[in-house]
Amino acid sequence: MLRATVILQPPHPIHLGQTLGTLARGHEDPLFRSVHTRDQEQYWVSSTYRNEGVLLCFSREHSTVKDLAQRLMHPITVRLWCHSDASALEQAAANLPYWLGFHDVWDAFLTLSTYRDLPLVLRETQRNNPGIRLSATGQLTRHMVTAIAEQKVTGIEAMGGMRAIIRELGSPVPATGNPHQPTGMFFFPDARAIRRLPSWKWHRFGFDSARSKAILAYTDRATSLEHLAHTAPVEQLASALNTLPGIGPWTISEALQRSHGHPDAISVGDFHLAHLVGYALTGRRTDDAGMLHLLKPWAGHRARVVALIKASGVLEPRRAPRLAPEDHRFI
């Protein structure tokens, strides 16, 4: 097994939990886990480079420094492990600053003439949380397949289905010898393996035909789309993804927010987001068209506004019971 350690000095405040935490899909995500010890916080993430799985552990020592911004400037240690491909390890190490949001500079947003038009609670949220950054993992296939799995179903259904696929087709991460390494983590399966999954297993894992067909449509072109993701502007990639059957603006935005840290990607069609944005900005819920109208003054930075809304804790009062998932597998 190959291993490496990289120590990174942030160029601006970085909050590990608020930056990397957006990658987690539930508490028992086989691709992401957080561990908090007496001495440090750790975030374990599996990734893939050059078709080789690379396990990442981001950590930072706890500090007694009172000033929050200073604490969030402390060095971040990243440990990496893979089975045999040194070039995959090197590529993963080179991409670590993007995972941590080093590229995500908020100066242009904070100096907008319209920034002062944000509600006071959101401006205070930014001042009190200077380490919020948009992570860019570069892992397009992982985020596209996961986003498709989450189309028009509850989180419980989506996460359950994805865990089943990952455990069926993915490979376990290596044992590192670290006493705090979480159990049950896997590498995301290769697109070719997903394409070979028989139809009866999609049904068994709780996927309807629309989502399984959309995932297969993506995996059929995964190689060319991943190349485009690393060589073309994000707008060109979004246009290419939009040509795939069963894949629309919501799915594309959800994926690009995480793979590219896209600062303006908005998940139009989300069951809750428009209501949340409307309530945070006006005190009233709205629809997708209303959300886009409300966010227009911060065009180019709309994902950052949404990140502040989510970090603020502002929530519209619940009006109805949670939607119960439906299970059609045995009908």
Average pLDDT of every residue of the chain: 94
pLDDT band at 330 (very low <50, low <70, confident <90, very high): very low
Question: Would you tell me how many other CB atoms lie within 10 Å of the CB of residue 46?
Answer: 24
Please give the C-alpha separations between residue 176 and each of 14, 57, 327, in angstroms, as whole numbers.
26, 10, 38
Q: 293-313: per-residue pLDDT in tens?
A: 999 999 999 999 999 999 999
Q: Is the pLDDT of residue 325 over 60?
A: no
Q: Is the pLDDT of residue 317 over 80?
A: no
Query: HSE-up of 305 (CA within 13 Å, CB side)?
Result: 31
Q: 23-50: per-residue pLDDT in tens?
A: 998 888 999 999 999 999 999 999 999 8
- Name residue 36's beta-bridge partners: 41
Summarize the confidence of residues 256-267 as an average pLDDT.
97
Q: 158-190: per-residue pLDDT in tens?
A: 889 999 999 999 999 999 999 999 999 999 999
- pLDDT, residue 154, reads 85
| 3-state secondary structure at position 60 | strand
**CA dist., res. 20 & res. 27, Å (int):** 14
What is the widest separation between alpha-carbon atoms in the chain? 59
Q: Is the pLDDT of residue 323 over 60?
A: no
**CA dist., res. 102 & res. 13, Å (int):** 9
- pLDDT, residue 157, reads 87
Q: Is the pLDDT of residue 269 over 80?
A: yes
Q: Where in the chain is the domain with CATH 3.30.310?
A: 2-105
The matching CATH number, chosen from 1.25.40, 3.40.50, 3.40.720, 3.30.310, for 2-105 is 3.30.310
Summarize the confidence of residues 254-260 as an average pLDDT.
97
pLDDT band at 331 (very low <50, low <70, confident <90, very high): very low
- pLDDT, residue 320, reads 52
If we measure between CA atoms, which residue out of 299, 303, 306 comes closest to residue 281?
A: 306
- H/E stretch holding 35 reads strand 32-36
Contact indicator for 298, 280 with CB cutoff of 8 Å:
no
Q: Is the pLDDT of residue 156 over 60?
A: yes
If we measure between CA atoms, which residue out of 19, 9, 5 comes closest to residue 73?
A: 9
Q: 51-63: per-residue pLDDT in tens?
A: 999 999 999 999 9
Please give the C-alpha separations between residue 289 and each of 267, 273, 278, 318, in angstroms, as whole numbers.
12, 12, 11, 22
